[in-house]
Chain A
């Protein structure tokens, strides 16, 4: 895996400040850069105070749902009757997202420090960092960092375990992740009970994304008010966010910008715009699970939780997938559907059968065998797959299909009418 780019002047480097500096991976190097000061600061405070500071900062979950982090922490029982657990979701598997990987590769101690602060805030004595199975390099780096920090004694009584996943996308869903940690099949659980009541091993649990926790030390050292000030548009979205940009741009990479940053600037300036002679066609702003934006929506979209919703999509994990005018949208949507069909855990009927059926219809359309009724059928199936299952994998399959048909219907119709050369999909 390569080295990161030099920061663009329009970036706000906070989490990514030390990306590329090998020395920052070491315990000493991290301390030299001011590391673990925030942890010490937190340890001197009552846990409830730490929760309040994070609440005030306006920090929201960076894993996709955007739930206010401090509020989530405050759901943990105040009076501790059972062991409390912290789970760190490092199972970054959302297609188009590769920010947590970089945090773990370059600043493993940032995550460890954030983890230790969160554990203090929720009074957890055990933290599990659940790392995606394919992340062999980040795992090795995290392992080394954990060993070093542990021998330096920075965690006190807190036990931090690295748990390696086995490659299932669904294990990034918080309750499936907990089942996986417990050694069970990674199936999402019905909620309630919510993790704060009964999470991993049935105990009160908080689960946070890597990027969320990596931001926490900065909030403590620089203050909630400062963090809250990092906002270009909606006051409900604060801080910085890493956007993993991939697709048809000149410089695909991770870019860290302040919340509310225009998507247009991210694509055209930071990423250097389209390849020569190409124009922007569409963009998925928040990882493969969110609705697709067309060109106009992309160019007018502000990158924060509210801004993207205003354009009909979601900020999600911040995985920005950019498509230029050479893109076959039908093919792209089929690939996404196929991914979800492959990764469905098979619990809920709509998801198990719906994702596979959707894929078959899309494959047939691409093969030139589609029927006119197929598009309405896809929309109807998507309706049946949305909001009716235990987790949102089913909804995630439906989102690109629905938005794709809505915004690029003519491409589907071209295949069905035989105006476009069939694509045989393997």
Chain B
């Protein structure tokens, strides 16, 4: 692609696109979605489904818009009688061997074959019921992928993903003609750490996720823009919830981060969001035992504790906490001798070969960079040692707390691990699916996530809890929303200065080079 612009007309709408743009992409700019199956912007062009046929003036034959580059003065007509009838023909051909088992198919409701057939297919089939349909048994392709060959339309997106993006070509087209099906290499399985993407890429219900199998109908799902918490890469995801339960994680396209993909680790990393054993009310220690109370009481206990305590405080934070929560947790101890640290769980790294700078990172810390920007250090052991003699220790949603302290322990978390029962005060906070917030990924990209489901009981976002506490300590007005919370962060932290939720949008922005902390 170059900077040179090409002017063309699509369905009467003039558009200007960079040289090298495909007609199908140019059409999107004109507000026209040309029906297609094999084309996917994240994969090499195959041009095999022949669904995106359009009429181009001065060209003798219909052209596939996915393999035709926009040219100066081109006049494209996607709705001409010839183009429409050709696409109707393709749909009819695709459906003759398709089982029409939509009522039991997971893809129903988000199926491109359904959608385009509804849009421009024939009302009935001309394929005689006397003719048998192609039949092949369901195959187990890998840890999370099932192949239902009867529904397959052989668009080869999955084959191209494994070959060109994952660069582990274990899938192929086997056989020829109408006997063709997607084959898996006999000596391997579809167990690449990024293999689950073939399920998203499949335009029909042929490749299915075992994890999501028959869990929900597509139209029952609420979709929320979020950021994966699986590692420090910060892939953009969509959380699909059904009746306030997260049932599926899917990639959300972001060309700067994860393009159209997420790894299987991230895809499966959602069950904890639905945990039932949550702390639902603030707890305070009375008579040696924790008792449920209201927020007012809990805040009073904390402020009393902080006012009367010595100057040394230690904060042990989770790198999964929001930037906003981490900020206000720090602000709470303004003027005191504060040490903050976070612990990073390490795992195996797994890169996606065909996309530069995309991998499941060894550091399983979605907001480690954010914590660092706010002054939290990585020396967890030193912080633990410091905690022993500190006056107050705050643990922020870090279930693994081998902390021993002579001082007072404040625990803010989603669940109550055994050691947290030593706390003076337990503050119930929400998890990533239950709040708005932002993470800073390993490349310094600040990315927002949104609330996907309600919080249990009295649990509140971390930023709310700590800003209210700060206000009670006389540190100024509390904030009323995550956006406002972020504004405060942006005012205080040089690297984030000038950023706002509005600016970040849902694709995020790279923070300015962070100042030394």
Where the two chains meet, the residues of A that have a C-beta atom closer than 8 Å to any C-beta of B are 168, 170, 185, 190, 341-350, 352-357, 360-361, 364, 369, 371, 373, 377, 381, 383-384, 387-390
**Quick one: closest A residue to B156, CB to CB?**
A347
Would you call B49 an interface residue if the criterion is a C-beta within 8 Å of the partner chain's C-beta atoms? yes
Query: Is B177 a contact partner of A343 (Cβ separation < 8 A)?
Result: yes
Q: Does B130 contact A (CB under 8 A)?
A: yes
For B19-51 the 0/1 string (1 means CB < 8 A from A) is: 000000000000000000000000001111111
In the complex, what residue of chain A is closest to B45 when comparing beta carbons? A190
A-B contact pairs, 14 of them (CB 8 A): A170-B176, A342-B176, A342-B177, A344-B178, A345-B176, A350-B89, A350-B90, A353-B97, A356-B178, A357-B96, A360-B128, A360-B131, A388-B61, A388-B89
Task: A357 to B94: give the CA distance in the assembly, Å.
Answer: 11
A348–B67 Cα distance when bound, in Å, is 14
| Residues of chain B lying within 8 A (CB to CB) of residue A388 | 50, 53, 61-62, 86, 89
Are the CB atoms of B49 and A349 closer together than 8 Å?
yes
Nearest A residue to B88, CB-CB: A384
Contact of B178 among A341, A361, A381 (CB under 8 A): A341
Instruction: List 6 tightest A-B contacts by C-beta distance, closest first.
Output: A384-B89, A346-B180, A356-B178, A353-B93, A344-B177, A347-B48
In the bound complex, CA of A341 to CA of B47 (Å): 20
B154 within 8 A of A: yes
Cα–Cα distance between A356 and B131 once the two chains are bound (Å): 11
**Which residue from chain B places its CB closest to the CB of A341 in the assembled complex?**
B177
Mark out the residues of chain B between 193 and 222 whose CB falls within 8 Å of any chain A CB in the assembled complex: none
Chain A residues near B176 (CB, 8 Å)? 168, 170, 342-346
- Per the bound structure, the CA–CA distance linking A112 and B126 in Å amounts to 52
Contact status A390-B48, CB under 8 Å: yes
Tell me the residues in window 54-73 of chain B with beta carbons closer than 8 Å to chain A beta carbons: 61-62, 64, 67
CB contacts under 8 Å to A, within B135-178, are 153-154, 156, 172-173, 175-178
Contact of B130 among A345, A357, A364 (CB under 8 A): A364
- B 267-293 binary contact with A (CB < 8 Å = 1; else 0): 000000000000000000000000000
Cβ-defined partner of A348 (8 Å) among B50, B130, B172, B173: B50
A346-B177, A371-B128 known; 16 other A-B pairs, CB under 8 Å?
A341-B177, A342-B177, A343-B177, A344-B176, A344-B178, A346-B179, A347-B46, A350-B50, A352-B180, A357-B93, A357-B96, A357-B131, A364-B130, A373-B126, A384-B93, A388-B61
Contacts of B46 in A (CB 8 A): 190, 347
Pairwise interchain contact A387-B49, C-beta atoms closer than 8 A: no
Residue ID in chain A nearest B172 by CB atoms: A185
A133 to B292, CA, bound (A): 82
Minimum distance in angstroms from B87 CB to a CB of chain A:
10
A190–B93 touching, CB < 8 Å? no
Residue with the greatest number of chain B CB neighbours at <10 A, chosen from A354, A355, A388? A388
Chain B: number of interface residues, binned into ranges: 35 or more
CB pair A354–B154 under 8 Å, yes or no, is no
Give B293 Cβ to nearest chain A Cβ, in Å: 66
Chain A residue nearest in CB terms to B175? A346
Contacts of B175 in A (CB 8 A): 346
Question: In the docked arrangement, what's the CA distance between A384 and B126, Å?
Answer: 14
Nearest CB in chain B: distance from A371 CB, A: 8
Contacts of B45 in A (CB 8 A): 190
Closest to A371 in B: B128
Contact A364 B173 (CB under 8 A): no
B93, A349: Cβ atoms under 8 Å? Answer: yes
**A369 x B49 contact (CB < 8 A):** no
What 0/1 readout, one digit per residue, does chain B (407-438) give for beta carbons within 8 Å of chain A? 00000000000000000000000000000000
> In whole angstroms, how far apart are the Cα atoms of A70 and B48 in the complex?
32
With A353-B93, A353-B97, A357-B93 known as contacts, the answer to whether A346 contacts B173 (CB < 8 A) is yes
The smallest C-beta distance from A207 to any residue of chain B, in angstroms, reads 20
Chain A CB count within 10 A is highest, among B45, B126, B172, for: B126
Contact present for A390 and B86 (CB under 8 Å) = no
For the complex, give the distance between the alpha carbons of A350 and B89 in Å.
8
Is B126 a contact of A377 with CB atoms below 8 Å?
A: yes
Q: In the assembly, what is the distance between CA of A345 and CA of B156, in Å? A: 13
Which residues on the B side are within 8 Å of A353 (C-beta)?
A: 93-94, 96-97, 178
Q: How far is the CB of B474 from chain A (nearest CB, A)?
A: 70
Contact between chains at A356 and B177 (CB < 8 Å): yes
B47 with A390: CB separation less than 8 A: yes
Query: Could you tell me the distance between the alpha carbons of A168 and B61 in the complex, rounded to whole angstroms?
Result: 27
Most buried by B among A343, A346, A371, A387: A346
A170 nearest in chain B by CB position: B176
A348 touches B94 (CB 8 A): no
- Residues from chain A with a CB closer than 8 A to the CB of B128 are 360-361, 364, 371
Which residues on the B side are within 8 Å of A383 (C-beta)?
Answer: 89
Partner of A384, one of B51, B86, B177: B86
Chain A residues within an 8 Å CB radius of B179 = 346
Inter-chain contact B178/A349, CB cutoff 8 Å = no
Expressed in whole angstroms, the minimum distance between the Cβ of B315 and any Cβ of chain A is 58
Closest beta carbon of chain A to B167's beta carbon, Å:
16
Rounded to whole angstroms, the CA-CA distance of A58 and B153 in the bound complex is: 45
Q: Which residues of A contact B61 (CB under 8 A)?
A: 387-388
A387 to B48, CA, bound (A): 14
Contact for B173 among A185, A349, A355, A390, CB less than 8 A: A185
**Nearest CB in chain A: distance from B60 CB, A:** 8
With A364-B130, A388-B62 in contact, is A349–B153 under 8 Å at CB?
A: yes
Across the interface, do A349 and B94 meet the contact criterion of CB distance under 8 Å?
yes
